[in-house]
A and B are shown apart, each in its own frame.
Chain A
Amino acid sequence: MLNFLSGGAKRHDAKHYPGFGLIGVLFFIFLYLPILVMIAYSFNSNKIVSVWQGFSLKWYFSALQNDGLMSAVRVSLTVATVATVLATLIAISAALVLSRGKDVKGAKLSETVINLPLMLPEIVFAVAILILFSQLGVQNGLLKLILAHTCFCIPFAFLPIRARLQGMHTNFEQAAQDLYAPPWVAFKRITLPLIMPGIFAGAMLSFVISMDDFITSNIVSGGGATTLPVYIFSLVKQGVSPELNAISTLIIAISLLLVTPCWLIAERNRDASL
Chain B
Amino acid sequence: MNKNLLGLAPAYLVMLVLMIIPLLIVVDVAFMTSDPYGGFKQVFSLESFQQILYNVDWDDNLVLNLQYLKIIGRTLLLSAITALICVCIAFPVAYYISRQSASRKTVLLYLVTLPFWVSMVVRVYAWVLILSNDGVLESGLRLFGLVDDMDSLLYNNGAMLVGMVYSYIPLMILPIYASIEKLDINLIEAANDLYSNRLKTLYRIILPLSKPGIVAGAILVFVPCLGTVLEPMLLGGGKTMMMGNLIQNQFTISRNWSFGASLALVLLAIVLIFLMLQALRAKRVQAGEV
Q: Please list the residues of chain A having a beta carbon within 8 angstroms of any beta carbon in chain B.
A: 7, 9, 14-17, 19-21, 23-24, 27-28, 30-32, 34-35, 37-38, 41, 48-51, 89-91, 93-94, 96-98, 101-102, 104-105, 110, 113-114, 116-117, 119-132, 134-135, 147-148, 150-151, 154, 158, 208, 211-212, 214-215, 218-219, 228-229, 232-233, 236-237, 239-240, 244-245, 248, 251-252, 255-256, 258-259, 263, 267
Contacts and interface: CB of A to CB of B under 8 A. Distances in A.
Interface in B60-118: 89, 92-93, 95-97, 99-100, 104, 106, 108, 110-112, 114-115, 117-118
B8 A97 contact: yes
The 9 A-B pairs at the shortest CB distance, nearest first, are namely A121-B227, A14-B192, A128-B22, A97-B7, A24-B96, A34-B126, A132-B22, A151-B18, A20-B92
B207 to A, nearest CB: 12
B71 to A, nearest CB: 14
B268 A240 contact: no
Contact of B26 (A34, A117, A128): A128
A50 B267 contact: no
Interface of B (DSSP majority class): helix
Contacts, number: 251
Contacts of A219: 248, 251-252
Interface residues of B, number: 86
Given A15-B99, A90-B11, A248-B125, A131 B118 contact: no
B44 interface: no
Contacts of B125: 38, 232, 236, 240, 244, 248
Contact of A134 (B39, B95, B118, B129): B39
Nearest to A252: B118
Contacts of A122: 224, 227
B217 interface: no
